[in-house]
Amino acid sequence: MSKLLGALLLGVLAIGVMGVSQTAVSPRSAGQTLLFDNATDAEVLRLGILFDGPISVCKEDIIAFGGEAVTRLDMGNRKAWIDAKLLPGGTLQVSYSGEAQVQSAYWVDTAQEKNKVICRWLIEAVWNAGDLGLIQEFMTADSIFHGDGLLGELPGVEGYTTFAVSTHTAFPDVDFTIEDTVAENDLVAIRVTETGTHTGPLRTIPATGASITSRAMIIYRFVDGMIQEGWIQTDALGMLTQIGILPPMGPPVFGWGTPSDAAGDQGTLDENKLIASRDPDEIWNQSDFAVIDEIIAEAYLGHYDMGTTIEGREAYMQYVPRTLTAFPDFHITVEELFAEGDLVVFRSTASGTHLGPLGQIPSTGKAWSVGGIVIRRMADGKIVELWQLNDMLSLLTQIGLVPPLQ
């Protein structure tokens, strides 16, 4: 005990204390003893630490100064989750064995915040830093990811690792920026922007040297702090267009575009879910266009597939019937629905038959069914902004406009 207290005093006397940004925290260090200060001005309940190598931590070697005793320690090979109530200004002292250093650490209060941190670690450490060995730290052995028409099914840690290896081979400088994170219960959704340079083979497609900007949405389902299942929706059509495999099929807009600055009362989660659900249920499935005035804001901004941007309620009123002319039997089935703050997430399956013109594309008479992910932002009881990715590559393949990928 005296050794631990000595380490604490040494840390307190050390020059400079790293700042805390939101829930992120950087430790002060005295050898293999880490000192995590709660400078959040609020009580915190849990600390997550990601190391850059293997470590070992025992519950008995963790002390909360200015809080309550540690109640739980969950260890991985390179990560640790510590449950301990810590008051503002308190310090959590963590002693460990191993040569690794802290790569990232976060204070969290809820299981949902913990899940969001894991998703952030997956993007930052695995995808951006290329540390593929961490995948098994975040996913169960029997996990499965359901990809779009470009990715297919990704079973287990092995399937996901193969996907990561192939992406880094095709785009060695790949980088993901998280734009939004939404969590409720056991689900987390993220909206990201991807950039990279195509300097390696992508399946059978040789390197083109083209720089790409692409979009993606991912939903993760957690079980006991590990990712059990996921759904990945990419803008595969836009990416293949940028590397020259497909001709342009819409405006040359491949990023998410400028977000709306519309603001207002964000409402409650239940209210937002109910209002947002009326869009697919009543406007799209029932062709009840009168509902548009009730739930779509006048300053509405929609970021859609194939570079399409819909600005304003009036433009939305034209967009919906135009789409339903191409697909008169259009139908959306909502598979998942969850929300946080002013954002509502839908995972859905859309289907229809191409019986009318789709832009310059004449009717083909062919049926299609694809998955999609949509995020709607609410203000003052109306939808003010939308981000959508459907599996447009699969849709165009099913109606015969794009040949199947080999």
Phi, psi of 275 (to 5 degrees): -65, -45
Strand pairing report for 226-234 and 139-146: parallel
Q: How many CB atoms lie within 10 A of CB 59?
A: 14
Gap between the Cα atoms of 358 and 101, Å rounded? 55
Share of the chain above pLDDT 90, in %: 87
Q: Note the pLDDT tens digit of each residue in 367-396.
A: 999 999 999 999 999 999 999 999 999 999
What are the pLDDT digits (tens) for 120-178? 999 999 999 999 999 999 999 999 999 998 999 999 999 999 999 999 999 999 999 99
Backbone dihedral region for residue 89 (phi beyond 0: left; psi -120 to 50: alpha; all else: beta): left
DSSP labels, 226-281? EEEEEEEEE-HHHHHHHTTSS---S-S--S--PPP--------HHHHHHHHHHIII
Strand order of the β-sheet with 139-146 is: 153-155, 139-146, 226-234, 211-223, 187-197, 175-184
- Helix (H), strand (E) at residue 170: helix 156-170
269-398 and 117-242 share a CATH fold? yes
Tokens of 317: 């009123």
Average the pLDDT over 214-243 and give the result.
97
Which CATH number is 269-398 given?
Answer: 3.10.450.50
Residue 4 has pLDDT above 60, yes or no: no
Using an 8 Å Cβ cutoff, are 284 and 296 in contact?
Answer: no
The rounded radius of gyration (Å) of the Cα atoms in the chain is 24
The number of C-alpha atoms within 13 Å of 173 and in the hemisphere containing its C-beta is: 10
For residue 406, is pLDDT > 80? no
289-293 — which CB contacts under 8 Å span 24+ positions? Answer: 289/317, 289/320, 289/321, 292/316, 292/317, 292/320
pLDDT at 76 over 60: yes
Other CB atoms within a 10 A radius of the CB of residue 398 amount to 20
- 321-338 mean pLDDT: 97
If you classify domain 117-242 with CATH, what class do you get? alpha beta
The span from the CA of 366 to the CA of 397, in Å, is 10
Query: Which numeric CATH code is attached to 2-109?
Result: 2.60.120
Most confident of the following: 2-6, 76-80, 400-404: 76-80
- Say whether pLDDT at 5 is over 60: no
Give the Cα separation of 23 and 176 in Å (integer): 20
Domain positions in the chain are 2-109, 117-242, 269-398
224: left (phi over 0), alpha (psi -120 to 50) or beta: left
pLDDT at res. 250: 83
In which element (H, E) is residue 87 found? strand 79-95
